[in-house]
Amino acid sequence: MFGKLAFTAALCCICILLMAALAGASLGMEDAEASNTINEGKTPAEAPAPVLHDDTGDVKLKQDEIGRLQGEVARLQKLAEAQKLEAQAERKRQAEEEAEKKRLQEEVARLQKLTEEQSLRAEAEGKRQAEEEAEKKRQAEEEDGKERQAEEEAEKSGRPRRRRKEAAGE
């Protein structure tokens, strides 16, 4: 951006110097014409008008050159403005890309956290189910142990007692 601005400033300076040089050259020619008329013995009233004479085309040429240079300066200003707008658009696009990238990273982090939580829940659920099954198995073994003990006591006392499971199956 600084280089473009410096380029525009340098071009404006060159245009101003060129206009000054053209103005100085035409003044120099007019002075030469005036001195020639004096040397020829003509009075200043008889001499042609030095600068503001449309018949010579000098004034029109100066106006055309000034207009062209002003047009060139305007074109360069428009170009600089377009480059400035383009740079702003590029910065805005980059900012949007960075925001999108940050949003995606946050989304990935959120999904990773969610996945981790789900795996921990699944692991906890698996442990809970395993504990429940172990508890059921322990209770079943305990009941079987009680039934066996009851059968053994019944056999000792002389009364046969059927197991609950056998009775449920018949």
Per-residue pLDDT, 50: 40
pLDDT at 157: 83
Higher pLDDT, 22 or 37: 22
Sorted by where each begins, the domain ranges of the chain are 2-119
Q: What is the pLDDT of residues 67-114, one digit of tens each?
A: 889 999 999 999 999 999 999 999 999 999 999 999 999 999 999 999
The residue written with tokens 């590029």 in the block is 90
Tokens (6 digits) for 36: 């020639």
pLDDT: is 163 or 103 the higher one?
103
Residue from 79, 84, 69 nearest 2 by CA: 84
Using a 10 angstrom Cβ sphere, with 0-12 exposed, 13-18 middle and 19 or more buried, the burial of residue 33 is middle
Task: Give the Cα separation of 150 and 122 in Å (integer).
Answer: 41
16-20, 119-123, 127-131, 164-168: segment of lowest average pLDDT: 164-168
Q: How far apart are CA 124 and CA 130, in angstroms?
A: 10
Closest CA to 14 of 69, 91, 51, 78: 69
pLDDT beyond 50 at 29:
yes
**pLDDT score for 62:** 81
Q: Residue 15, Cβ neighbours under 10 Å: how many?
A: 17
* Start-to-end C-alpha separation, the chain: 97
Q: What is the pLDDT of residues 40-56, one digit of tens each?
A: 555 544 544 444 445 55
For position 156, what pLDDT does the model report?
85
